[in-house]
Amino acid sequence: MQLPALPFPFNFEVSHTALVLIDFQRDFMEAGGFGETLGNNVALLAAAVPPMQKVLAAWRAVGGLVVHTRESHRPDLSDCPPAKRDRGNPALRIGDVGPMGRILVAGESGNQIIEALSPLPGEIVIDKPGKGAFYATDLHAQLQARGITRLIFGGVTTEVCVQSSMREATDRGYDGVLLEDCTESYFPAFKAATLEMVRAQGGIVGWTADSADLLAALHKG
């Protein structure tokens, strides 16, 4: 299949491609979570959900592999470096108790993926202690075992965990495309800049595309 994209078309086969949803979790998307404790307007991320829902449904319909990630830490925070926990001046730090349980801790209510994009049985769910999806996880091994060479990304936030994951993927030999309307940031200017960075210099990090074009390509088969 061919997806219209920038800086040039992105070719892929569903059987060798995974749809990767980065950190659509309550701690970033909803009031009372980590994103809000940092002083952000979490409502800005909601725009990515409807187009991501459509893509997820279409991808599932064609039998494509789906990967979900969550930024999360062990309850004892042994995988959370002090430099990460202590940085900034949030109202609540990682591991503190908030309205949805302990912030960014595995198993807590706030750490779960939002209901609108909830994983189905059999889909890969990666709990990652860092920004990138590959750091300290077995994602690379799982993708290799399934013959995956190309990745289609959506998620939050564009300039942090999404971009980090795309850069990690590039270093591991994957080709990746970011769906522009399936990603959002607390800072619209940061999203715009990241999209430019991704596709700059002939796609040095990857491609960018619109979800409607992906849906059309999947419909054509």
**Residues forming the active site:** 23, 128, 161
- Nearest residue to 10 (alpha-carbon basis) of 209, 158, 153: 209
**Sequence-ordered list of residues with C-beta below 8 angstroms from that of 195, at least 6 positions apart, any chain:** 158, 178, 180, 208
Rounded Cα–Cα distance for residues 105 and 28 (Å): 13
Do 130 and 81 meet the contact criterion of CB atoms below 8 Å apart? no
Rounded Cα–Cα distance for residues 158 and 194 (Å): 7
**Sequence-ordered list of residues with C-beta below 8 angstroms from that of 107, at least 6 positions apart, any chain:** 75
Which residue type, as a one-letter code, is found at position 100?
Answer: M
Residue 51 gets which letter from DSSP?
A: H
- Nearest residue to 128 (alpha-carbon basis) of 18, 27, 215, 8: 27
Rounded Cα–Cα distance for residues 105 and 94 (Å): 7
